[in-house]
Chains A and B, each alone.
Chain A
Amino acid sequence: MSFLTLKRRHVLIGMAATAALPNLSFAQSSGPVSGGTLKISHSTRIATLNPLILSGPAEYPCIDMIYSRLTRIGFDSQPQPDLAESWEASPDATEFTFHLREGVTFHDGSPLTADDVVATYEAILNPDVPSSATSVLDMIESVEAVDDLTVRFSLAAPFADFPYSTAHSNACIISRAALGDLTALETQANGTGPFKLETYDSARIVRMVKNEDYFVEGRPYLDAVEMMLFPDLAAETANFLSGATDVMLTVQQADYERIAASAGIEAQRVNSGRYVCVVMRQDAEPWNDVRVRRAFSMAVDRQLMVDIILEGLGRPAYDSIVAPELEYATEKPEISYDPEGARALLAEAGYPDGLSLTLVASDRPAIRSQTAIVMQQTAAAAGFDLEIETMPHDTYLANVWMQGPFYIGYWGMQPTIDATYNLLLTSDAAYQDSEWKNDAFDALIEAGRSTTDEAERARIYSEAQALELEDRPYIVPFFEDVLTASSTETHNWQVAPISRYFYIENVWLDG
């Protein structure tokens, strides 16, 4: 269908060309055009702009536009230079030196120096300042400004993935002056990114305008970007399809096919490591028995879930939280739906009559309760009699999350295998909610951090993943694709699999 509009546009260009000859060369040049306002629609509130702690799906593109980090994850899932032009590591991966770009200024005109970087990392490491990047940066022992444009990090333990950590979406470089007032960071912004904050209205719109002094020559192309909030999905879709907005940040699976088939729309589907997992707290019965966990795993029909919940826009996962896109990810053996086998295993574990359990799912996003509903159906044949308790998200966070014995979790993709495991599965992980504590696994993750030898790391991480599959700390039924759409007039709109990096400075609109 988009083919049709392309033709229509060509006809229009042709008409313009006959009307005015000089236009001809202009219209035919297919290179980027400067100017225009990009309107991005989203359905979740931008509740804060504090780059240290924000975590909303529509908040990430805002800080990706306003701020810069030392490094940035590219569409190839590798760290790319951002404020740091280059960096080097000591051979034992305990010391990293970053060289900053020359002549970078904040939006208020003040120059960026190594001191601002030091101030930012001190804030991130300060236990009194809430910060989401701490978990991947807490190995930093000291950070110092060698000179105005050089920053050196000394790490308490070797950590080969450090340039991934400095690209953490919440590790935005903030000026020392701005860090003095953390409440102001929620609504104001002074970054070094391609766009400057102009309007912040969390209930309606966030508008950003071009930063003329952006450090990448010739970028951004756009004059302004507007993040428009549509709390109602139907309204968002209608506005996008009618051309009132240029980009729909997130497309729902149910609407994807319809939107992709509409004229003048380009829908994108990016394989990602976003997953739903079943948390089974293992410090109590029945989940302390690996046979029960394995039985439940066999009672899950993964392909059915991908078909029904994701409308086929995803991939079945086989109980590992490590996405296939990540470096060192191993091929996982397929787990087929086998209710008889599950029943037998349950009986062996001492539950010949099956198990009656209450599975808790928060009401947001809907994918949690959908997963629970499908699991209830498929697990019934295997002897698991599940009752579903759906509850408001706030109640869930307060009473069930990190406490309950059996509930549905939902996580975004992490940039590295180390970050993935350190978020949930190591004994001291930030959100360790399964109570699966395995010393051998911890030791492997520790060893993986401290070596820079590729082959050695590959061996270590393959062992760690084998251990995860052996013990099944989580049931992971599927990986969800990231879905987004843009009008055909919008060029270079892309979403990285981890959906935290957008490179909107490269986006341009047809004039």
Chain B
Amino acid sequence: MRKILSSPNGVAGVILLAIVMIAALLGPWIAPYDPQLFHSQNRLEGPSLDHWLGTDQYGRDLLSRILNGAPATVLFGLGATALGVGVGSIIGVIAGVAGGRADGVIMRILDGMLAMPELLFTLLIVTFLGGGTLQALLAVAVAFTPGMARIARSSVLSVRTREYVLAARARGESRAWIVVREVLPNAIGPIIVEATIRVSFAIMIGATLGFLGLGAQPPSTEWGLMVSEARQFMFRNPWGVIIPGIAIAMTAMGFNLFGDALRDAFDPKRSH
């Protein structure tokens, strides 16, 4: 942790993440108003004392909506990443450990999937599965899988020929034991770093899908959806677009900077 805090990027990341996490954990309870409540006399207003971040087209309080949408947005990012990283890592480790022909077949298939840009691939899956939060989450997870598998595999490959693995093999340990006790603990670092950075991508893709109408549906407080709904009123109250936009950017940046700092901390070569 001290290593992370030693770089300005890391500090910024930790602060941003802390804000987002507080919002995600406590948001719905500290919101000043019901996020769905209309204040029809104060529609499309900028920040004021009553409404710190202004109101949307129905006169709903933007601060309350942002806070209310925080858990869903962060959970979406974490959930999609966890699923994608989990499945990807398992595939990658299997390929890396098995080697030879199995490795070749698995990796060529994944390379094929990697050839398609992540967002396009996600859109394709969502079109296939239909819109909705859960579908969007699955789509992001699936899109993340090939890339994660690749990283997990390379990480395993670099560990596989180390002396302690050879020693374990010479001791006659079983293959499963070697994977679980020797390979995984030493290969997990890069995977965790990559996963942290990917959370920010997951949140951005989730917001993109919400914006395109393929993720969460009204009256949800998902941030991408909020931007999309407010877009029509952009010329009358730009805050409706700016506020959720900043929220998405803060969250994505927080995870990204934190992930970068985490990587530096894990990498001895960069830690001087």
A105 at the interface (CB under 8 A from B): no
Are A254 and B43 within 8 A (Cβ)? no
For B9, the chain A residues whose CB sits under 8 A away are none
For A454, the chain B residues whose CB sits under 8 A away are none
Are A377 and B36 within 8 A (Cβ)? yes
Query: Known: A377-B36, A392-B130. Contact between A308 and B219, CB under 8 A?
Result: no
For A373, the chain B residues whose CB sits under 8 A away are 36, 58, 218-219
User: What 1/0 mask marks residues of chain B from 144 to 166 whose CB sits below 8 Å from any chain A CB?
Assistant: 00000000000000000000000
For A390, the chain B residues whose CB sits under 8 A away are 217-218
Query: Known: A369-B218, A373-B58, A373-B218. Contact between A307 and B231, CB under 8 A?
Result: no
B235 at the interface (CB under 8 A from A): yes
For B218, the chain A residues whose CB sits under 8 A away are 363, 369-370, 373, 388, 390
Are A308 and B131 within 8 A (Cβ)? no
A376 at the interface (CB under 8 A from B): yes
Interface size on B, residues (CB 8 A): 20
Chain A facing B: main interface SS: helix
Q: How far is the CA of A258 from the CA of B219 in the complex (A)?
A: 26
Name A368's closest neighbour in chain B (CB-CB). Answer: B218
User: What 1/0 mask marks residues of chain A from 335 to 376 whose CB sits below 8 Å from any chain B CB?
Assistant: 000000000000000000000000000010000011001101
Name A232's closest neighbour in chain B (CB-CB). Answer: B231
For B59, the chain A residues whose CB sits under 8 A away are 308
Q: How far is the CA of A347 from the CA of B36 in the complex (A)?
A: 26
A496 at the interface (CB under 8 A from B): no
For A308, the chain B residues whose CB sits under 8 A away are 38, 40, 43, 57-59
A234 at the interface (CB under 8 A from B): yes
A5 at the interface (CB under 8 A from B): no
Query: Known: A363-B213, A373-B218, A392-B131. Contact between A254 and B236, CB under 8 A?
Result: yes
Are A363 and B235 within 8 A (Cβ)? no
Are A391 and B43 within 8 A (Cβ)? no
**What is the distance, in angstroms, from B18's C-beta to the closest C-beta of chain A?**
33
A92 at the interface (CB under 8 A from B): no
Query: Known: A308-B40, A377-B36. Contact between A234 and B217, CB under 8 A?
Result: no
Name B219's closest neighbour in chain A (CB-CB). Answer: A373
**What is the distance, in angstroms, from B99's C-beta to the closest C-beta of chain A?**
45
A129 at the interface (CB under 8 A from B): no
Closest 3 CB pairs of A and B: A390-B217, A254-B232, A369-B218
A residues lining the B interface (CB < 8 Å): 233-234, 252, 254-255, 258, 304, 307-308, 363, 369-370, 373-374, 376-377, 388-392, 395
Q: Provide 23 A-B residue pairs closer than 8 Å at the C-beta atoms, listed in order of the A residue.
A: A234-B234, A254-B57, A254-B232, A254-B236, A255-B232, A258-B235, A304-B40, A308-B40, A308-B58, A308-B59, A363-B217, A363-B218, A369-B219, A370-B218, A373-B58, A373-B219, A374-B38, A376-B36, A377-B37, A388-B218, A390-B218, A391-B131, A392-B131
Given contacts A369-B218, A391-B217, list 18 more A-B pairs with CB under 8 A. Answer: A234-B231, A234-B234, A254-B232, A254-B233, A254-B236, A258-B236, A308-B57, A308-B58, A308-B59, A363-B213, A369-B219, A373-B36, A373-B219, A374-B38, A377-B37, A388-B219, A390-B217, A395-B130
